[in-house]
Every structure is written in structure tokens, then in C-alpha cells.
A and B are shown apart, each in its own frame.
Chain A
Amino acid sequence: DAKTTQPTSMDCAEGRAANLPCNHSTISGNEYVYWYRQIHSQGPQYIIHGLKNNETNEMASLIITEDRKSSTLILPHATLRDTAVYYCIVRVEMEAGANSKLTFGKGITLSVRP
């Protein structure tokens, strides 16, 4: 799997956009970028994923650079409930073998301040 690099932590003001960066310079052409988050004491929660094009859903937007070596998760209007650890994961979507797994690194801790 392509390795991802994320800052350790960041903060943003409530109501503002939170832009969470992720570097994946060794990503392969068939690897997707997934974002999960883990709110304190809870299990991880899927947010969004994409391959090449930018994606948007009700939770967030995912911006992937043209060379696919980095991406940014955008929470358009951060709330206090968005305080969590955010994981950027790169995976082949149809990888052979059910031993494929989500590999969670240390992620980035986002703190939303009032």
C-alpha cells in the first residue's frame, strides 16, 4: 500500500472550513484515497473516498491533486462534534484476497475550538 503522511494535529474555529492535508506521493494508478475519522472512544467512521476526481457528500469534500500525490479533506463548516482523529488511507479498491484490510496510521487530530 502507498504510504500516507499527515500532520500530527491542527485546529480550526467553529463554523470555519477545516482543510486536512494528506500526502501520498507513492500512490499507484489504481489506488483510491479513503478518509475515516474516529471520535474519542468510538469506532472509526467512513467519511469519503475518491480516485481522481474531486468528490463531495453530505459530510465533506475531497480534493485530489492532478498528479494524485496529495489530497485535502474539507469540512466546510466545522462544528465541535467534528473534533476527532482523521485518517487518510490509500487502498486498491478491488484488491485480491480478503485479507485486505483498512490500514489506519496515526492520523491527524483535529480540534475545533468555539
Chain B
Amino acid sequence: NAGVTQTPKFQVLKTGQSMTLQCAQDMNHEYMSWYRQDPGMGLRLIHYSVGAGITDQGEVPNGYNVSRSTTEDFPLRLLSAAPSQTSVYFCASSYSWQAFEGYTFGSGTRLTVV
């Protein structure tokens, strides 16, 4: 089925480890973004991309890197995991950053940093 695929679904990391959360979409969407969702809080934008080769920071970018070498993929890298990064991470894509009704979200990656 067409959509946004996130891997892994669950991950436990030790403090200081690094890892990459994968996000792929097969809808030829230009816009992709990463959010994190913490208990009792709404989703917060980490990084976003308006097209291949273009990325920019959202509201909570510290500790994360992204790249967009292809239209389909938008991986999120945790450089040195910290307990404060324990969260659920969602990747979203849309045919345009302006099309708020067109956002498709992945099913999330649940990350625990110990």
C-alpha cells in the first residue's frame, strides 16, 4: 500500500549511542518532515525538507541531523542519544508544505534511551 513507512517500530538505545530512524514514502511527495511526540504534549517539528537536497530546522532540531538525497527517503539521525530524546517519532509527507490537509503520517518509531 502507498504511504509513509518508518523503521524500526521500536528501539532501545544506551545514552551516547547513535542511530538512524528511517522514513520512506512512495507517493512522490515533495515535502517531508519529522515530529516527536512526548506524553502529555503535542507533536513538535524537528526537521523538514521541501525537496531532494533541501533540509531545514524545525522547532526542536538539537541533537538530530537529516538529509534528503532522494525524494523518497528522509532519514533522521540521532548523533549521541540522550534520555531526553525518549519519545515517539513520526515522519510525515505531503505533496506540498502548504497542503496541511494532505499530510500523511507514518506509524511512528518508539524510541527509549536508557
A residues engaging B (CB < 8 A)? Answer: 32, 34, 36, 41-46, 49, 87, 89, 91, 93-95, 98-107
Question: Restricting to B14-45, which residues have a CB under 8 Å from any CB of A?
Answer: 31, 33, 37, 40-43, 45
Structural contact, B103 and A102, CB atoms closer than 8 A: yes
**Which of A34, A98, A101 is within 8 Å of B101, CB to CB?**
A34
Q: Which B residue sits closest to A45, measured CB to CB?
A: B105
Q: Which residues of A contact B97 (CB under 8 A)?
A: 98, 100
Q: Which residues of B contact A95 (CB under 8 A)?
A: 98
**Which of B42, B50, B92, B107 is within 8 Å of A105, CB to CB?**
B42
Question: Apart from A104-B37, A106-B40, what are 10 other A-B pairs with CB-CB below 8 Å?
Answer: A34-B101, A44-B43, A44-B92, A44-B103, A98-B48, A99-B58, A101-B45, A102-B92, A103-B43, A106-B42
State in angstroms the CA–CA spacing of A99 and B56 once bound together: 8
Mind listing 30 A-B residue pairs with CB under 8 Å?
Answer: A32-B100, A34-B101, A41-B107, A42-B108, A43-B4, A43-B105, A44-B43, A44-B103, A46-B101, A46-B102, A46-B103, A87-B42, A89-B100, A91-B100, A93-B98, A95-B98, A98-B50, A98-B97, A99-B48, A99-B56, A99-B58, A100-B97, A101-B48, A101-B59, A102-B43, A102-B100, A104-B37, A104-B42, A105-B42, A106-B40
User: Closest Cβ of chain B: how far from A20's Cβ, in Å?
Assistant: 17
**Which of A34, A43, A45, A99 is within 8 Å of B100, CB to CB?**
A34
Structural contact, A101 and B98, CB atoms closer than 8 A: no
Q: Which B residue sits closest to A48, measured CB to CB?
A: B101
State in angstroms the CA–CA spacing of A114 and B41 once bound together: 29
State in angstroms the CA–CA spacing of A102 and B13 once bound together: 28
State in angstroms the CA–CA spacing of A94 and B100 once bound together: 9
State in angstroms the CA–CA spacing of A107 and B41 once bound together: 10
A98-B56, A102-B100 known; A43 and B45 CB under 8 Å? no
Q: Which A residue sits closest to B59, measured CB to CB?
A: A101
Is there a chain A Cβ closer than 8 Å to B75's Cβ?
no
State in angstroms the CA–CA spacing of A49 and B40 once bound together: 25
Q: Which residues of A contact B45 (CB under 8 A)?
A: 99, 101
